[in-house]
Structure 1
């Protein structure tokens, strides 16, 4: 199954106080390597939102078939100075299953004993 994740976040005043050159250097040194390390399992697109909402400044749209890889990506991001030193804070995270209803209907067609493999803990 493919999962879609909308990861909303806000860059803080501390980030905005940096020059654009400093921001680009931090992005290249700390964020890009994390996304590159998971690029074979998690795709990411980035959007600016501050001109359209006051709740968050940006959001990312991630897609994966491996929730573990997504989780590890987020943990790796949290270990970077961009997060740990307060330049960026996460806000709401929305997760969905692409065409999940179809998988559910397929499971139903296999009888009431069908289990969803993506929900197993074993």
Structure 2
């Protein structure tokens, strides 16, 4: 992941101590470069910890910070609050 750190910032979170019945850990990735994001995950899927089975990817949830505000400003021509 460090190889892609200029383009993809990552934060690791521990969920098992909280009500994390479906997940033990998760990562939050921030990027504006989807190609680097994709390549990072391709390399992770080819890495030993993943291929040996020490980790698995259950779900990928994508989102944007305050996307509704960008939509309102860009498409609906509303002022940002």
- Please identify the structure whose Cα radius of gyration is greater: 1
Query: Is residue 36 of structure 2 the alignment partner of residue 36 of structure 1?
Result: no
Structure richer in strand, relative to its length: 1
Partners of 1:101 and 1:61 in 2: CA distance: 20
Relative CO higher for 1 or 2, CA cutoff 8 Å, sep ≥ 6? Answer: 1
TM-score of the two chains, using structure 2 as the length reference:
0.82
Structure 1, unaligned stretches of length 5 or more?
1-34, 110-122
Structure richer in helix, relative to its length: 1
TM-score of the two chains, using structure 1 as the length reference:
0.57
Q: Give the one of 61, 81, 90 matched to 2:28.
A: 61
* Cα root mean square deviation, aligned: 1.2
Query: Is residue 26 of structure 2 the alignment partner of residue 72 of structure 1?
Result: no
Q: Give the one of 15, 19, 29 matched to 1:49.
A: 15
Partners of 1:102 and 1:67 in 2: CA distance: 21
Q: Displaced runs of 4+ in structure 1, greater than 3 A?
A: none
Structure 2, unaligned stretches of length 5 or more?
none
Q: CA deviation at 1:86?
A: 0.8
Partners of 2:10 and 2:16 in 1: CA distance: 19
Partners of 1:87 and 1:62 in 2: CA distance: 20
